[in-house]
Every structure is written in C-alpha cells, then in structure tokens.
C-alpha cells in the first residue's frame, strides 16, 4: 500500500517560501551564507523549521550544504546553467506540444504575461515569467513530465535572476513570450515548440556564452 508523503509543517513551509522568494528575487545572493540563528530571528521561529526548510531547499538545488562551510545559496556558473537549461530544452518544448494538442486553456499563460508587463520591479517580473512557462507545460497531460520540469524550475529561475542582474534582457524575452503564446493560441504546436526551444537556448547562450570560464 502506497502512502502519501507527510505535508510540510506550516512553520517550515512559511520559512521555506520566504527564503526561496528572497533567493529568486535577488534578496539573497549566490554564495551568501544562510545562518540558522539569523534566519530564525528574521522569521520569528525556532531553528527547527529553519533547518528543515534548508534541507528541502538543498534538495531542490537552491542551496548547498557543506560540512565545513555551512549552508550557502547556490552559486550559478556556466556549467550549472547549461545543465539546467539542457533539461528544459529536452522536455519543455515537448510538453508545450502536448498542451497545444490537448487544446488546454492558455488563459493562465496570458494572464502571466500581463503581470510581467505591468510589474514594477524585477522580483514581480521574474515570478510572472516563471508562471508563464509553467502555464505552458502544466496542462501537457503527463503529470510526471510536469513534475520533472517543476523540479528544475527553481534552479532555472535562479539562473535567470543572476543573468538579469548582469545583463537585463527581459524586454527581448517578453517579445519572445508573446510570439510563443501567439503560435500556441493559433494551434501551431510545432511552431510554438520551435520558438520555445529557441527562446530557452538563446537565453542561456547570451547569459553564459560558450568559452566563458566556469
């Protein structure tokens, strides 16, 4: 008999979401140390939920636990970025093909683009862009495929946060998002998948050109 995993206690979830938001919006920088006592004081909790939250974030690849250095925000380099985006290139266009073939509603994706356009800061824009991409693959009809993409979603967002800090390119990507959505709404599964593949590949190549030091 299979058992569902136990839900994360509310305090742990609260701390986890707070740390994740800070990492993915640039409030915590790659390589920055995460000290349990400081985080506990910041969120008004004991060290136990902080410790559990950090373990979960280590499992998703957002933080690194080291016996000697403690816990730090994961550092983004070219090797890490290409590894994460390679997974996206293999899976995300196919998921979009299936979403379009199923004639699923893309209203959530459209709404995410509106939020990204109206965003007043990079944090809001980053979160809206993440929701846009998820809205394209989530209705693909294969829950395992969607979960696999969810597993690299946070790491991909970390890569984009670092890349945007160095070279803001969100306006260009916003135009690419509009074209992907247009093709998807037209029912052009192959065209939308090609545009999405190019969008993902071009971004990581611009941010981490081949030959850059790792």
Confidence of residue 8 (pLDDT cuts 50, 70, 90): low
Count of alpha carbons within 13 angstroms of residue 154, beta-carbon side: 19
3-state helix, strand, coil in the chain (%, to 5): 70, 5, 25
Domain total for the chain? 2
CATH classification at residue 150: 1.20.120.530
**Residues 184 and 125 occupy one common structural domain:** yes
- Residue 113 or 67, more confident: 113
Q: Per the domain annotation, does 48 fall within a domain? A: yes
What whole-number distance in Å separates Cα of residue 49 and Cα of residue 18?
Answer: 12
Average pLDDT over residues 29-49: 95
Q: Is residue 143 in a domain?
A: yes
Average pLDDT for residues 186-193, to the nearest whole number? Answer: 98
* pLDDT beyond 70 at 213: no
- 214 in a domain, yes or no? no
- 92 and 162 within one domain: yes
Q: Helix, strand or coil for residue 195? A: helix
Structural domain of residue 153, as residue ranges?
A: 78-207
Confidence at residue 209, expressed as pLDDT on a 0 to 100 scale: 86
Give the pLDDT mean for 195-202. 97
pLDDT at 75 over 60: yes
98/124 same-domain check: yes
User: 131-156 pLDDT, tens per residue?
Assistant: 999 999 999 999 999 999 999 999 99
pTM for the predicted model, two decimal places: 0.85
Do 105 and 162 have their domain in common? yes
Q: Name the pLDDT band for 9 (thresholds 50, 70, 90).
A: low
| Residue 60 belongs to domain with CATH number | 1.10.10.10
Question: Are 113 and 177 found together in one domain?
Answer: yes
27 falls within a domain: yes
Has residue 3 been placed in a domain? no
Judge whether residue 2 has pLDDT over 60.
no
Contact by Cβ (8 Å): 36, 73: no
pLDDT for residue 214 is more than 50: no
Confidence of residue 119 (pLDDT cuts 50, 70, 90): confident
For residue 94, what is the enclosing H or E element?
helix 78-101
| Dihedral angle computed from the Cα positions of residues 32, 36, 40 and 45, in that order, rounded to the nearest 10 degrees | 140
Share of the chain above pLDDT 90, in %: 75
**In a domain? residue 212:** no
Residue 24 has pLDDT above 60, yes or no: yes
Q: Six-digit token pair at 76?
A: 């983004």
């Amino acid at each position: 008999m299979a058992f569902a995993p136990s839900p994360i206690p509310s305090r742990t979830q609260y701390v986890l979401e707070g740390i994740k938001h800070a990492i993915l919006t640039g409030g915590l920088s790659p390589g920055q140390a995460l000290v349990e006592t400081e985080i506990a004081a910041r969120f008004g909790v004991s060290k136990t939920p902080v410790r559990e939250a950090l373990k979960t974030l280590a499992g998703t690849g957002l933080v690194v636990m080291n016996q000697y250095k403690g816990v730090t925000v994961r550092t983004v380099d070219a090797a890490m970025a290409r590894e994460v985006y390679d997974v996206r290139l293999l899976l995300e266009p196919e998921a979009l093909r299936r979403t379009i073939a199923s004639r699923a509603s893309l209203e959530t994706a459209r709404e995410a683009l509106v939020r990204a356009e109206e965003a007043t800061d990079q944090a809001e824009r980053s979160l809206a862009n993440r929701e846009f991409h998820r809205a394209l693959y989530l209705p693909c009809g294969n829950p395992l495929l969607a979960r696999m993409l969810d597993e690299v979603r946070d790491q991909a967002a970390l890569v984009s946060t670092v890349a945007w800090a160095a070279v803001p390119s969100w306006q260009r990507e916003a135009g690419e998002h509009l074209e992907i959505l247009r093709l998807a709404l037209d029912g052009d599964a192959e065209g939308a998948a090609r545009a999405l593949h190019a969008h993902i590949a071009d971004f990581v190549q611009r941010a981490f050109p081949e030959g850059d030091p790792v």
